[in-house]
């Protein structure tokens, strides 16, 4: 990573103690330090995904009043590596009707966009190192929206190349879900860009250290972004398109072995990615707590910011895992309605309120927040009042009998 390359790509300066042979440009302008950073980042993603899977099993176990993984390693900590070994040894089957070229390519086209998005995340400083970020582009916010959107191509390829009409239908449903939730997510990010007056993720984090965390200034934007990213990951309660209870189990029903494992890896890596992005965009990045610098505690964040960033990210990961086991799954019509009728209008409202805050100040912004909450309460009350009486009566039906389409009661 030479000084010229750094100036062209607006990269931050490398540590002064790093030897010259590590930062000298090599293949494609990348230095040895860049290649080492890519390898370390890939190892971090793989290791964190295994830890994340173990955490999810433990969370599920405690919610369901059981222990979860317990016997393979201390407290079941080696269960995830054992599962990886199992996937590596399982037979990798290819359907007769599958496309022999496209079919094996699809899993990589789903995982690689997720991994590439990790390159622009500002992880924060740690002792001798400055801000940990592999490629801090000035257009990082645009990059983090554009690159993950390429997952849709891999999902369509997986469904089409399987030679299975159910896989193709599953890929169509997943891509429709991705497109529907991409719109409110992007509009929510416009408010973040307006507050920071920049598209650079590092600048966005630094702006929150001066004017406050975006989660307090844009609570609607945070909820819209967080829920939209959960849907794009096909995480519960937004996982009906890939649910095992459906006839169509998503676009990868014909995959087995490690190819199926790569889809699984992409899902859990996306959980880590979107939790990190939420931390950087709304939770102040590596800052210890709001206003810590005003209290003279900024040096703690400057020395151990990476640890604080990871702590916030893990909390968001746990929230996503908790939601999987306590919230009911949405039907496909409810899923699409929630995107177009609730999240998209909420994203526009957040965008307008952010513009009011930037132009007119905090008082009109606070009034707008109050009016928005009042309007939401009125709409919710209207929706509850207009519910079909037959639906309410059906919900109150005695569990001893369930009415059928012919009106005949069947025992349960």
The overall average pLDDT reported for the chain is 85
Give 150-208 pLDDT, tens digit per residue. 999 999 999 999 988 889 988 999 999 999 999 999 999 999 999 999 999 999 999 99
pLDDT band at 14; cut points 50, 70, 90? low
Quick count: other Cβ atoms within 10 Å of Cβ 262?
Answer: 22
| pLDDT at residue 408, rounded to an integer | 45
Token pair 């896989």: residue: 167
Round to whole Å and give the CA distance between 339 and 154.
23
Percentage of the chain exceeding pLDDT 90: 51
Quick count: other Cβ atoms within 10 Å of Cβ 250?
Answer: 24
| pLDDT at residue 33, rounded to an integer | 77
CB 192 within 8 A of CB 282: yes
Q: Is the model more confident about 18 or about 322?
A: 322
Instruction: List the chain domain ranges.
Output: 1-86, 90-382
| pLDDT at residue 108, rounded to an integer | 94
| pLDDT at residue 391, rounded to an integer | 53
| pLDDT at residue 133, rounded to an integer | 83
Q: Which residues pair with 49 in a beta bridge?
A: none
Give 343-376 pLDDT, tens digit per residue. 999 999 999 999 998 888 888 888 888 888 888 8
Give 239-281 pLDDT, tens digit per residue. 888 887 776 678 888 999 899 999 999 999 999 999 999 999 9
Round to whole Å and give the CA distance between 212 and 138.
22
Q: Average pLDDT for residues 333-343, to the nearest whole number? A: 92
pLDDT band at 231; cut points 50, 70, 90? very high
Supply 272's token pair.
């880590």
**Residue 24 clears pLDDT 60, i.e. is over it:** yes
| pLDDT at residue 383, rounded to an integer | 74
- Answer positive or negative: Cα dihedral of 162, 166, 167, 168: positive
| pLDDT at residue 387, rounded to an integer | 66
Q: Is the model more confident about 396 or about 310?
A: 310
Give 114-152 pLDDT, tens digit per residue. 999 999 999 988 766 677 888 778 888 999 999 998 999
| pLDDT at residue 287, rounded to an integer | 93
Give 55-110 pLDDT, tens digit per residue. 999 999 999 999 888 889 898 999 999 999 999 898 888 999 999 999 999 999 99
Round to whole Å and give the CA distance between 197 and 208.
11
Supply 387's token pair.
């519910």
**Residue 15 clears pLDDT 90, i.e. is over it:** no
**Residue 411 clears pLDDT 70, i.e. is over it:** no
């Amino acid at each position: 990573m030479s000084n010229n390359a750094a100036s062209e790509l607006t990269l931050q300066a490398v540590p002064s103690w790093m030897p010259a042979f590590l930062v000298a440009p090599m293949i494609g302008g990348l230095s040895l330090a860049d290649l080492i950073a890519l390898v370390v980042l890939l190892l971090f993603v793989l290791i964190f995904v295994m830890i994340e899977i173990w955490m999810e099993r433990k969370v599920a176990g405690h919610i369901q009043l059981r222990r979860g993984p317990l016997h393979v390693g201390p407290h079941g900590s080696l269960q995830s590596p054992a599962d990886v070994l199992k996937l590596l040894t399982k037979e990798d089957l290819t359907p007769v009707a599958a496309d022999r070229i496209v079919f094996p390519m699809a899993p990589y086209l789903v995982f690689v966009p997720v991994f590439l998005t990790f390159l622009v995340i500002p992880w924060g400083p740690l002792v001798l190192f400055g801000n940990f970020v592999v490629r801090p582009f000035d257009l990082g916010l645009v990059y983090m929206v554009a690159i993950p959107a390429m997952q849709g191509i891999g999902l369509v390829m997986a469904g089409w190349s399987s030679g299975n009409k159910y896989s193709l239908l599953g890929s169509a449903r997943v891509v429709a879900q991705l497109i529907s939730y991409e719109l409110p997510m992007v509009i929510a990010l416009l408010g973040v860009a307006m507050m920071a007056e920049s598209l650079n993720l590092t600048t966005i984090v630094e702006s929150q250290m001066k004017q406050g965390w975006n989660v307090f200034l844009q609570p609607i934007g945070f909820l819209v972004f967080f829920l939209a990213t959960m849907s794009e990951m096909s995480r519960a309660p937004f996982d009906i398109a890939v649910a095992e209870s459906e006839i169509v189990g998503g676009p990868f029903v014909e995959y087995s072995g490690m190819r199926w494992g790569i889809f699984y890896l992409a899902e859990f890596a996306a959980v880590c990615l979107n939790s990190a992005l939420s931390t950087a965009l709304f939770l102040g990045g590596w800052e210890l707590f709001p206003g810590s610098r005003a209290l003279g505690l900024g040096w703690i964040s400057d020395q151990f910011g990476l640890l604080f960033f990871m702590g916030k990210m893990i909390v968001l990961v746990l929230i996503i895992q908790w939601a999987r086991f306590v919230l009911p799954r949405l039907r496909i019509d409810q899923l699409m309605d929630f995107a177009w009728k609730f999240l998209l209008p909420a994203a526009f409202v957040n965008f307008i309120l952010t513009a009011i805050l930037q132009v007119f100040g905090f008082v009109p912004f606070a009034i707008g927040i109050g009016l928005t909450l009042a309007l939401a309460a009125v709409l919710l009350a209207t929706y509850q009042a207009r519910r079909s009486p037959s639906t309410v009566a059906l919900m109150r039906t005695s569990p001893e009998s369930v009415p059928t389409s012919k009106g005949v009661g069947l025992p349960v």
